[in-house]
Amino acid sequence: MSSLLVLLHVAVWLTLFQISTEFIFPFRCPHQSHKHMRSHWYCKNNLKPEYICLIDTEHASSTELCVKTLDYAPPGQNYVWTGGFRNLDCKDHTFQPYALWQNESEKCMFEKSHCIDEGQTVFRSGTTETDSSCRCDHSQYYTFVNPPQHGKYCEPSKEDCSCYIKQCAYNEQLNSDYECINSLSEEYSSLTIDTSINTTGENTRKNGGITLCWFLQKQTENYT
């Protein structure tokens, strides 16, 4: 009789320990490399042999299931458990370019690129099915080490997006096509020339145009 009481106390203690442990440390799905072993144990001798582990959105934990047949979520989505199977779009920082089987992963498998390497900035944030695309910050004179497939931007998951500082001449700027252009010529071409003379002999701006001093005008005449 005493041995039965001991066994009963042990069983109760183990149950309480399991409950308290699960309360403090919510169950999480096993790593992909461990799922095969886990499935053999959890779904052993079960008429539904396919092992699934999904995020349980109702209890902020994970749920293990054994099913007879598997289904898959379309690109850009993953399965979750909300008392039943449900598809959800990938979270903002992840994407899924192909269909995802229920037993493959409990979340979208690819993390979006952050475009935070030297000289990089985000060109597009991507979608639930595609990665972010990056560009080099031409305003800081950065350009691509290797010309990308799309010219002005690159796809980090498909190609090298490294940037470096391009050396332009002292009077040049780097445009959005990553070409050095003459900044003075562009500035002057956008202004109108005012040929009125300032008697102080200094260059002044008048009505958005450039007023040339008498000295500069004489120098121009000498060259002609």
Q: Is the pLDDT of residue 131 over 50?
A: yes
- In this structure, which long-range contacts are made by residues 68-73, counting pairs with CB atoms below 8 Å and at least 24 apart in sequence? 70/101, 70/102, 70/103, 71/101, 71/102, 72/99, 72/100, 72/101, 72/102, 72/104, 73/99, 73/100, 73/102
Query: Per-residue pLDDT tens for 200-215?
Result: 444 333 333 333 333 4
pLDDT value for 80: 92
Q: Is the pLDDT of residue 149 over 60?
A: yes
Among 14-28, 70-84, 118-132, 210-224, the least confident range: 210-224
Distance CA 75, CA 128 (A): 8
pLDDT value for 49: 85
pLDDT value for 163: 97
Distance CA 103, CA 65 (A): 10
pLDDT value for 43: 87
Are the C-beta atoms of residues 75 and 99 closer than 8 Å to each other?
Answer: yes
More confident residue, 134 or 49: 134
Distance CA 59, CA 128 (A): 25
Query: Per-residue pLDDT tens for 171-182?
Result: 999 999 999 999
Domain boundaries, the chain: 26-111, 120-183, 191-223
**Amino acid present at 1:** M
pLDDT value for 154: 96
Among 49-58, 89-98, 158-167, 186-195, the least confident range: 186-195
How many CB atoms neighbour CB 85 within 10 A?
Answer: 15
Among 23-37, 97-111, 115-129, 191-205, the least confident range: 191-205
Average pLDDT score, the chain: 77
How many CB atoms neighbour CB 135 within 10 A?
Answer: 25
Could you tell me the two tokens for 219?
């120098």
Distance CA 108, CA 26 (A): 21
pLDDT value for 218: 42
Q: Name the most confidently modeled range: 43-47, 150-154, 209-213, 217-221.
A: 150-154
Q: Is the pLDDT of residue 15 over 90?
A: no
